[in-house]
Amino acid sequence: MFIEIFSVIFYVSAINSFSIEPVLSPEPIHLHNHHTNEQIFEILDKIHQKCPHITHIYDLNRKSANNTHLRVIVFSDYPEEHQQLEPEFKYVANMHGNEVIGRELLVELAQQLCDLYLDNHPDVVRLIESTRIHLMPTMNPDGWNMAALNEFQKWNNKKPGKFTTLEQMLKEIGSTDWLIGRTNFNNVDLNRNFPDLDKYEYKYNRDHKNKFDHLLAEASYEINSKHLDCNMKPYQNETIAVANWIVNNDFVLSANFHGGDLVVNYPYDDSNDHETKYAPTPDDELFTRIASFYASNHANMTDRKKKKCDMIGEDFDKGITNGANWYPVCGGMQDFNYLASNCFELTIELGCDKFPPGKQLKQYWKDNMHSLFEFIWKSHVGIKGYVLDTNDQPVANARIVVEKHNFDLGDYELIKHHVTTNEYGEYWRLLSDGIYRITAVGPDMTISKNHEIIVMSEDRNEAQRIDFRLLDTSYKYSRKLKKKLRNILV
């Protein structure tokens, strides 16, 4: 039982309410065909030129294995810098180079965010002015090149003259090979190439070490000392660049886009014995809620009459799946987000075809446009605020300890996953609806008073702000408190 110092009740609910009507246009501007990497970079540059005050373009600190930039476009009212209490959100696409729908959707999303902001659309203006949005259309540009060029060469060998240009083939056929281009230029699957932090998490649970999150020392050991991933492949430039990006930014929520099925996948991606079975995180309820949110806003992801894909014969009638319960994956990116940082990530499979004909892209946009926009708002669910010391100075690396009320037990249960404050003392804690008891604990084990809150989420609203002040307690009381805290903190 967590010690209760003071109890303050907050009703965490949005102040304003909005009707949830589609915001983005169903008539895309760019999705008449696939775009090469160079064309995508050109479009991003043009969007920045059109909307210079709300966009910023940057590259990650490493290039791809074949020396291509890993480029990101940011949308915010202050796009070049973090704004305090403004959550950071990211979309990542094309991690597997031959799974391409997401990269095209992100290019279109960027264009429409720019255009609608210039049109002063109130929902877009409000989103951009309250959220810093990072869009990475391609994490594996080399894989895309391999998939597209291999298909073009195959057709030239099989039926010379059928397609005179790469663009013509991409529009009519796309790419039909299931595997070529999936990996990066060095033939490494990037979604098996992140430090396998699941194995540490499961080991710590078995050993009752109560180490739940921010496994940065373990990640550093895997990359800098072990050098090989869980499949004995060297860590790749793309993986290291994205891993650094994840842990060095205040990302709150993320999704990465894949193809080959139609479902939203949530952590954990691997089970404790690497067998196919349900492997929940401590935030399983939250993950299932936000996964269902994306799926239910999609045009047909939850439609039981939808076309079924061929992968492992799954139906996914609710449009969501736990990763390990589908098939276990070690070294995946979404689990790395959760176990190494404050970021919660989903993996979204956008359709049965990995590289469909370019002429079909408009339909994928129509199917996903509502989900794409509304999901960004989920970076605002729950609470946010500051942790301060007795002199009202920000406290970095404080932990936000969350207990949720269990009505069956009639008591609070600890959620064994803590988010931490950044250098400014800021935190964001995503929460599903419910009753919570929340406390901040400083690096020196000083503690705040409890806040009991009722979370009632509403669409298109910012998180309620709740600040914590760490208390300066007596030595005797501190010893008693630390003894209590050992049960739930490292």
Paired tokens of 364: 């994928």
Helix axis angle, 122-130 to 101-118, nearest 10°: 110
β-partners of residue 448 are 470
Task: Assess whether pLDDT exceeds 60 at residue 311.
Answer: no
pLDDT in the model for residue 8: 44
Paired tokens of 340: 């190494």
Task: Assess whether pLDDT exceeds 50 at residue 474.
Answer: no
pLDDT tens, residue by residue, 231-246? 999 999 999 999 999 9
> What single letter denotes the amino acid at residue 85?
L
pLDDT in the model for residue 16: 36
Of residues 348 and 487, the one with the higher pLDDT is 348
β-partners of residue 56 are 74
pLDDT in the model for residue 484: 54
Average pLDDT, the chain: 91
- The CA radius of gyration of the chain, in Å to the nearest whole number, is 23
Residue 67 burial by CB count (10 A; 0-12/13-18/19+): exposed, middle or buried? exposed
Q: Parallel, antiparallel, or unpaired for β 399-406 and 411-414? A: antiparallel
pLDDT in the model for residue 10: 47
What's the maximum distance between 2 C-alpha atoms anywhere in the chain? Answer: 85
pTM reported for the whole predicted model: 0.93
Percent of the chain having pLDDT more than 90?
Answer: 83
* Catalytic residue annotation: 349
In angstroms, the first-to-last Cα distance of the chain is 16
Is the link from the previous residue into 268 a cis peptide, with omega within 30 of 0? yes
- Measured distance CA(451)–CA(257) in Å, rounded: 37
Distances (CA, A) of 448 to 385, 389, 404, 405, 488: 13, 9, 17, 19, 15
pLDDT in the model for residue 212: 82
- Measured distance CA(90)–CA(347) in Å, rounded: 12
pLDDT in the model for residue 3: 33
pLDDT in the model for residue 374: 97
- Reported as a pLDDT band with limits 50, 70 and 90, residue 409 is confident
Of residues 12 and 361, the one with the higher pLDDT is 361
Mean pLDDT across the stretch 164-180?
95
Task: Assess whether pLDDT exceeds 60 at residue 222.
Answer: yes
